[in-house]
Amino acid sequence: MYKNQKSIFYLFNVTITLILVNIFIFIIFSLLLLTKIISVDFIALKPSNILQGKFLWTFLTSMFMHAGFFHIIANMISLIFLGSFTERLLGPKRFFYFYLLSGIFAGIIFVLLSVFIKSDFNSYAVGASGAIFGLVGLLMILTPNLPVYILFIPVPIKMKYAGVIVLFVLWMISVLGNIPIGNTAHLGGLITGLVYGIYLKKKYKRKTNYIKRIFS
């Protein structure tokens, strides 16, 4: 689905680069927050801030900040597997832009739904999971029958079911455990991936059908 052309994107593994950038920014932002040089509002996405026209750059910065060590580890493990595979399918340049747009659209939907469903209005959202769920949504369309292992389920699950199962489990954990998980951001990323996957299927019908057959 991409042309083999010379570009700076072809000089690096985008997935590995994104992981390194996530880790680096997590360390820097954590130090800045610890020393109180900046506030969390400067980094994390908060709907009430956005709707007042404040800290609009947090749509981007929040994607590269995480709530703690285990949060970033879980997301980076997911990114190394899903990202590496998706990067090979899309090509590095298309993958890079899709990853960023998935994270940004996940943030936009997080903000919009905070108004419509009257929740998360004053909550902070951080992490790469919105963008990662974008990858999940895309793969649900391009490789629906690809067997994958998720969470603690010991048997492989088809990709077309995996995204929905993970989203549901995280939602239940947040509700039952009263844990602040950005479920609406995850949903936003998933929807972005599904929409882009449908677009690719229509534009590159022969190539996407070939990919579907290969990874079934």
Residues forming the active site: 129, 186
For the chain, the straight-line distance linking the first and the last C-alpha, in angstroms and rounded, comes to 19
Q: What share of the chain is helix, strand, coil (3-state, %, to 5)?
A: 70, 5, 30
Distance CA 159, CA 149 (A): 9
Would you call 208 exposed, middle or buried from its count of C-beta atoms within 10 A (0-12, 13-18, 19+)?
buried
Distance CA 5, CA 42 (A): 38
**Residue 142: closest CA among 93, 106, 193, 185:** 193
Distance CA 122, CA 6 (A): 45
Which uninterrupted H or E stretch holds 148?
Answer: strand 147-148
